[in-house]
Amino acid sequence: MPILRYPFLPDWVTRIRFRFSMPLNFFFKAFLRCGWLPFFCLATTEVRGTDFLPARIDSVARSGDVLAYVLPATVFGLTACFKDGEGAWEFGESAAISMAVTFGLKNTVRAQRPDGEPHSFPSGHSTIAFSSAEFLRKRYGWKFGAPAYVLAAFVAESRVHAHRHHYRDVAAGAAIGFVTTYLVSKPFHGWRIQPELGADFRGLRVSRDF
């Protein structure tokens, strides 16, 4: 039987303070401040033993690998079709940040994959897939986002199926891609309301991109 060992958490973790925010933004701010803790604890649980599973290389695994490249390529294709240079820049920025966080965690945590290889946590495939899906949803709406999310979920499941990741790995990758892209990207056509403060006035500015 594998032996589970949980690492010691530093004292400063117990001293984190939480501030309540507006209901609309509470979920995302709460995740950014404390949502990484359960993922970190799970990912750094060491499994010792030789009960590793051989990697699967079949049609499901190959399809997941291909879709991990097809989804971001589709994003750049749509931004080119819509002549949306700003959107291409936003996706490039969010994808770069997401993957930087993912690879930083991979090399910091160094969790073992189900097949015994290193760098399991989090899943890079899930990160880029869900980053692409969330960009399509927020930038162009659910008519693009819904099918993209279905394909992103397939990518995540294919990584578990191939014995390359645990479910916690793909969940963390999906969360990183989703949250980063949600915060960076903006709707392509939609009204935006922003507060404006001046020396002698306070108000809201309503704008729309055309």
Express each pLDDT in 24-58 by its tens digit. Answer: 454 455 555 555 555 555 545 544 444 677 778 89
Contacts of 185 (CB under 8 A, 6+ apart): 87, 90, 91, 94, 134, 135, 138, 139
Please state, in angstroms and rounded to a whole number, the distance separating the CA atoms of residues 13 and 206.
40
| Main-chain phi, psi angles of 191, to 5 degrees | -80, 140
Instruction: Specify the higher pLDDT residue, 70 or 20.
Output: 70
Residue 142 pLDDT greater than 70, yes or no: yes
| Torsion-angle region of 45 (φ positive above 0: left; ψ -120 to 50: alpha; else: beta) | beta
What is the pLDDT at residue 165?
94
Helix/strand/coil percentages in the chain, nearest 5: 60, 10, 30
pLDDT, tens digit, for every residue of 54-99? 778 899 999 999 999 999 999 999 999 999 999 999 999 999 999 9
pLDDT, tens digit, for every residue of 166-200? 999 999 999 999 999 999 999 987 444 456 666 66
Strands (E), 100-174: none
Please state, in angstroms and rounded to a whole number, the distance separating the CA atoms of residues 37 and 14.
11
Instruction: Specify the higher pLDDT residue, 4 or 26.
Output: 26
What is the pLDDT at residue 40?
54
Question: Considering the entire predicted model, what is its pTM?
Answer: 0.69
In the block, tokens 């479910």 appear at: 167
Strands (E), the chain: 3-5, 46-48, 191-197, 202-208
Please state, in angstroms and rounded to a whole number, the distance separating the CA atoms of residues 43 and 119.
10
> Could you tell me the CA-to-CA distances from 148 to 121, 153, 192 in Å, in that order?
23, 9, 24
Residue 113 is given by DSSP the state: P
What is the pLDDT at residue 158?
96
